[in-house]
Structure 1
Amino acid sequence: MNRPRNEHQKRQGTFQQAVKDKADRKMTARKEGDRTIWYGLGMFGIVGWSVAIPTLIGIAVGIWLDAILNDPYSWTLMMLFFGVIIGCLNAWYWVQRESRDE
């Protein structure tokens, strides 16, 4: 006769734990507030553009240098590389800044 009561208590305990976990998740979501899908898309855009713009500027400068200087080196490739490096550092900065604001 003790067995059904123990099963009932186990189920009730797991149910209470599930309700508590769900309430904790809701409270965490409310504390974060503005962390919606739009926030995520905005961050994705900031990171994307912070890499793309320096890369495109590097390519443009490289093409310009290749036209002016008659070197055996490809300035376009070198400036592309530097633009990507600067863009990645820029993206890292933005991500770190947003992580500190949490």
Structure 2
Amino acid sequence: MTEEPDKPAREIGERARRLKAARDDPGPSPLRGVGTFGMIGWSIAVPTVGGAFLGLWLDRVVPQGFSWTIALILGGVVLGALISWIWMRKEGGGE
């Protein structure tokens, strides 16, 4: 029944290393997925709605043979998809 004198200190050190490892790499989380969907949704929605409002204004101020609204909605979708793609590559580390 001889106990090593440094055993409690080693156990505390090992526990601290495990806690630090868990904090540094939390692993997959369902809430992180929800946050990712939210970020992607806003990244696409904001430029699209902004394009729609700008297009409506341009249709009234500078009428053309085409619809500014439709053109800028499509442009907003493309811009939003590009922003989302860049953000996903950065977050996912897929470089």
Q: Same fold by TM (over 0.5)?
A: yes
Q: Which runs of 5+ in 1 are unaligned?
A: 1-29
Greater helix share, structure number: 1
Sequence identity percentage: 35
Question: Counterparts of 1:67 and 1:44 in 2: how far apart (Å)?
Answer: 35
Shift of 1:72: 2.1
What's the TM-score, normalizing by structure 1?
A: 0.65
Provide the residue aligned with 1:10 in structure 2. Answer: none
Of 73, 77, 87, the match for 2:70:
77
1:65 equivalent to 2:58? Answer yes
The CA deviation string for residues 79-99 of structure 1, in whole angstroms up to 9 with x for no partner, is 011000000000001100111
Provide the residue aligned with 2:85 in structure 1. Answer: 92
What do you get for the CA RMSD once the two structures are aligned? 1.8
Provide the residue aligned with 2:38 in structure 1. Answer: 45
Q: Which runs of 5+ in 2 are unaligned?
A: 1-21
Matching residue's letter, 1:96: R
What's the TM-score, normalizing by structure 2?
A: 0.69
Larger radius of gyration: 1
Q: How many residues align?
A: 72
Find runs of 4+ consecutive structure 1 residues off by over 6 angstroms: none
Shift of 1:70: 2.1
